[in-house]
Amino acid sequence: MLRYIGKKIGIFVIFMGLLSMFVFILARLAPGDPLLSFYGEGVERMSTEEHLAARQRLGLDETLPVQYIRWVDNAVHGDFGISYKYKQPASVILMALLGNTLLLGTVAYVSVFVLAVLLAVFCTLYEDTWVDRIICKMGTIVYYLPPFWLGLLLILLFSVNLHWLPSGGAYDTGRSNDLLNRLQHMILPLMVMVTSHLWYYTYMIRNKLLDEVRRDYVLLAKAKGMSGYSIVWHHCLRNVAPSITSIMAISITHILSGTYVVEAVFAYPGIGALSIESAKYHDYNLLMLVVLITGALVILSSLLAQTINECLDPRMRSEGDSIWQKMKTL
């Protein structure tokens, strides 16, 4: 058991190291002046010497490997550097916004999968009837609505014309602890997140279930007099559970990507907007932290899903593949 945990931790550490190196190099290869985000427009009027001195102060004059080693050294000690734009420790900025994204992401994630499973079960029970067909068609159409465009239309309808919901933000000023208020602000972003991801996962689960209900044990259960509903709900669903957990693990990146767009449309303060901004303006330290947090989240959830799967189905343990490789189809 100890070895098992040790191996997982090892994978995690190696992974984070590679990821940080990859992003570090990529970010610094990009042409553009990080000083611009530190000093603003004033940087255009700087003389060459001033420019050099400023780079030196921010430690940008060293060679790439030296910069990277210094960064790792500081990061291990919990210091992720200051954000050039905000001129505060990057971790402070991140912490202020991480909660918002996690809340939105988690609620979206849970609702997408709860609804996806329910819809998939429903479609399986009514396979090839008109309800199923309508849901399939509608699902495909909704899935292909560009999410930002859908978001704009929702704002137009619910905020501008009906005045039912706020058009943006995460909560009203000074009410960050008011859950109801937060929920109210999350409804429109959630609607977009759910519509743009729901069908993709419903379709996958539905296909799994459709294959499952053609197994022989279903016939047996049927013969014993079980209703279709309880067969699917109690037996089939349990059998496809490992597939669902795998899908759920992979989907974390997708749903996180989704929050990027949604945060931009609804002016929702979160790490999605933050990471796009920091990449655009070369706010290196902030960018590194955002990517690492995202990466850590994804890896951890993948490891977690693998562990769950191994509990659900011990056969999984024998092969060395990661959960990502085990995903059979899309």
Partner 1 sequence: MAENEDFVIVGAAYKKQVRPVSESSVWRRLWKRPLFSLLVLGILLLGCIMAESIMNHHPSDFYLANLNEPPNTEFYFGTDSLGRDIFSIIWYGGRVSLFIGFSGMAILTCIGVFYGCLSGMAPAFLDNMMMRTAEMLSSIPNLLLILLILSIAGKPTPISIAAVIGGTSWMSLARIVRSEVRQIRASEYILVAKSMGASFPRILYYHLLPNFLSAIMFVVVSSISSCIMLESTLSFLGLGLPVEVVSWGSMLSLSNKALLTNSWWVILIPGVFIVVTLLCITNIGHYLRGAVNRRSSNL
Partner 2 sequence: MEKREKKRFWRGNIALCFIMAVFCMTFAGCGSNPQTSSPKGVDNSTLAFASGDYTTINPILNTHDELPDIIFSGLMKYDAKGNPVTDLAESYTYDANTLTYIFKLRQGVKWHDGAAFHADDVKFTLDTLTQSKTLAASITDNYKEISSVTTPDENTVVIRLSKPNAAMLNYLTIGILPRHLLEGKDIMTDSFNQHPIGTGRYKFVSWEVGQSVIVEKNTDYYDKIPQIDKIVFKIVPDENARALQMKSGDLDIAWLNAQNTEGFRGDKNYQVFDFKTADYRAISPNFAVPFWQNNKELVGILGYALDKEAIVKSTLGGRGVSAYGPLQLNAEYNNPNVRHYDYDPEKFRQAVEALGWIKGADGIYEKDGQKLSFGVDVRENEEERIDIANVAAQQFRAAGVDMKVNIIQKLNWKTLESFLIGEAAPFDPDNGTYDLFATGASGNYTHYSNAEVDKYLQAARMDVDPAARKDAYDKFQEVLAKEPAYIMIAYLEGNYVAVPRLKGPSTERVLGHHAVGVMWNIEDWTLGNS
The interface region with partner 2, picked from 11-19, 70-78, 249-257, 265-273 by CB under 8 A, is 265-273
Separation CA 42–CA 53 (nearest Å): 15
The one of partner 2, partner 1, none whose footprint includes residue 147, by CB under 5 to 8 A per kind, is partner 1
Structure tokens at 276: 């796009």
Q: Which does 85 bind (CB under 5 to 8 A by kind): partner 1, partner 2, none?
A: partner 2
> What amino acid is encoded at 196 in this protein?
S
Rule CB under 8 A: which of 63-92 touch partner 2? 82, 85-88
The token pair that represents 256 in the structure block: 């996180």
Give me the 29-58 binding string for partner 2, x by CB under 8 A, dash otherwise.
Answer: ---xx--x-xxxxxxxxxx--x--xx--x-
Q: Specify whether the CB–CB gap between 203 and 124 falls below 8 A.
A: no
How many whole angstroms separate alpha carbon 222 and alpha carbon 216? 10
**What's the per-residue H, E or C state across 198-247?**
HHHHHHHHHHHHHHHCCCHHHHHHHHCCCCHHHHHHHHHHHHHHHHHHHH
Q: 58 contacts which partner out of partner 1, partner 2, none, CB within 5 to 8 A by kind?
A: none
Judge contact between 263 and 101, C-beta under 8 A: yes
User: Encoding tokens for residue 109?
Assistant: 């994630």
Q: Given the complex with partner 2, which of 182 and 252 has the nearer CB atom? A: 182
> Considering the rule CB under 8 A, would residue 125 count as an interface residue with partner 2?
yes
Which of 56, 106, 227, 257 touches partner 2 (CB under 8 A)?
227
Residue that has been written with the tokens 């960018």 in this structure: 287
Rounded to the nearest 5°, which phi and psi values hold at 143? -60, -30
Find, among 201, 181, 177, 182, the residue nearest to 111 by Cα: 201
CB atoms within 10 A of CB 31: 5
| Footprint on this chain of partner 2 (rule: CB under 8 A) | 32-33, 36, 38-47, 50, 53-54, 57, 82, 85-88, 93, 96-97, 111, 115, 118-119, 121-122, 125-126, 155, 158-160, 163-174, 176, 180-181, 183-185, 187, 191, 227-230, 267, 269, 273-274
| Footprint on this chain of partner 1 (rule: CB under 8 A) | 15, 18-19, 22-23, 26-27, 29-32, 124-125, 127, 140-141, 144-149, 152-153, 155-156, 160, 210-211, 213-216, 218-219, 222-223, 228, 231-232, 253, 256-257, 260-261, 264, 272, 275-276, 279-280, 290-291, 294-295, 298-299, 302, 320-322, 324-325, 327-330
